[in-house]
């Protein structure tokens, strides 16, 4: 028993000594850390406002004339886009005359009701708009970049007394309007030609009974 106590006492003493030494070192370090003083000038930590940075860049751009140039370039780009819309891709000049038909019928996905909630057309009903309305004008699709197509369109419009609506797949509709003194349209993003299945111009769309006839003209 004495032998065990004789062996354990130094271990306890070493542990206590280590704890005391660590505490002393920690106290000394804390005291030094609190008494460092001011080594150099102190500046507040601040980040510039993003809005201030943007405004500063705008002021610089305005002073150098870069802002005015950017404004002019933007207006030029917008005007060019209006005057000359991007031509519809994959629409080419007719190389072989052909005729085909388009059925404008649709299947009503949901019930159509009146103001009182009465069902006028049940869902799933096949409806053809040509049953109730007729085309007031024929549709003539042309590429105004081709002088021959423009000349043919003008002759057809004059021949049919203005009963033809000209729709461009390329070229400037505004320039053509100024020349003809009559409305000219542009097939935005090729929505009409895509729906009707038109791949070549000039193409004339007319009504034939309850269908639309499309003639791709030479």
Burial of 108 (0-12, 13-18, 19+ CB in 10 A): middle
Query: Is residue 198 assigned to a domain?
Result: yes
Q: What is the mean pLDDT of residues 31-53?
A: 60
pLDDT at 50: 81
What is the rounded distance in angstroms from the CA atom of residue 110 to the CA atom of residue 156?
41
Q: Is the pTM of this model over 0.75?
A: no
Contact 108, 119 (CB under 8 A): no
The pLDDT tens digits for 136-151 are 999 999 999 999 999 9
What's the domain count of the chain? 2
Does residue 78 lie in a domain region?
yes
Q: What's the pLDDT at 4?
A: 38
168 and 65 in a common domain: no
153 in any annotated domain? yes
Same domain as 97, residue 185: yes
The reply to whether 198 and 99 lie within a common domain is yes
Asked if the structure places residue 174 within a domain, the reply is yes
Does 157 fall in a domain? Answer: yes
- pLDDT average, residue stretch 198-218: 96
Domain enclosing residue 65, as ranges: 50-83
**pLDDT per residue as tens digits for the range 22-38:** 554 444 444 444 445 55
Quote the pLDDT of residue 1: 43
Considering the domain architecture, whether residues 70 and 153 belong to the same structural domain is answered as: no
pLDDT, tens digit, 9 for 90 and up, residues 67-82: 777 777 776 666 666 6
Supply the pLDDT for residue 93.
96
Q: At which residue do the structure tokens 């003809």 appear?
A: 180
> Looking at the structure, do residues 57 and 100 belong to the same domain, yes or no?
no
Residues 159 and 58 in one domain: no
Q: Please tell me the predicted confidence (pLDDT) of residue 207.
A: 97
- pLDDT band per the 50, 70, 90 thresholds, residue 41: low
Q: Are residues 98 and 200 in the same domain?
A: yes
Task: Determine how many CB atoms are found less than 10 A away from the CB of residue 146.
Answer: 16
Which long-range contacts link 179-186 to residues 24+ away (Cβ below 8 Å)?
A: 180/154, 182/157, 186/85
Tell me, yes or no, whether 155 lies in a domain. Answer: yes
Three-state SS across the chain?
A: CHHHHHHHHHHHHHHHHHHHHHHHHHHHHHHHHCCCCCCCCCCCCCCCCHHHHHHHHHHHHHHHCHHHHHHHHHHHHHHHHHHCCCCCCCCEECCCCEEEEECCCEECCCCEECCCCCEEECCCCEECHHHCCCCCCEEEEEECCCHHHHHHHHHHHHHCCCCEEEEEEECCHHHHHHHHCCCCEECHHHHHHHHHCCCEECEEEEEECCEEEEEECC
Is 210 found in the same domain as 139? yes
Specify whether 55 is located in the same domain as 145: no
pLDDT of 6 > 60? The answer is no
98/55 same-domain check:
no
Domain for residue 56, yes or no? yes
Could you tell me if residue 164 is inside a domain? yes
Residues 141 and 170 in one domain: yes
Do 73 and 165 fall into the same domain?
Answer: no
């Amino acid at each position: 028993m004495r032998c065990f106590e004789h062996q354990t006492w130094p271990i306890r003493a070493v542990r206590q000594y280590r704890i005391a030494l660590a505490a002393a070192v920690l106290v000394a370090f804390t005291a030094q850390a609190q008494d460092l003083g001011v080594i150099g000038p102190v500046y507040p930590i601040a980040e510039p406002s993003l809005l201030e940075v943007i405004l500063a860049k705008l002021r610089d751009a305005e002073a150098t004339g870069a802002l005015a140039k950017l404004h002019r370039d933007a207006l030029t780009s917008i005007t060019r886009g209006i005057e000359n819309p991007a031509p519809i891709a994959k629409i080419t000049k007719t190389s072989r005359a052909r005729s085909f038909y388009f059925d404008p019928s649709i299947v009503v996905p949901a019930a159509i009701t009146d103001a009182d909630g009465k069902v006028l057309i049940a869902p799933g009903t096949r409806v053809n708009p040509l049953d109730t309305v007729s085309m007031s004008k024929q549709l003539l699709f042309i590429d105004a970049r081709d002088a021959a197509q423009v000349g043919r369109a003008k002759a057809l419009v004059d021949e049919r007394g203005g009963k033809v609506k000209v729709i461009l797949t390329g070229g400037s509709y505004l320039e053509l309007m100024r020349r003809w003194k009559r409305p000219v349209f542009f097939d935005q993003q090729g929505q009409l030609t895509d729906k009707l299945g038109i791949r070549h111009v000039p193409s004339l769309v007319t009504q034939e009974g309850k269908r639309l006839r499309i003639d791709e003209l030479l």
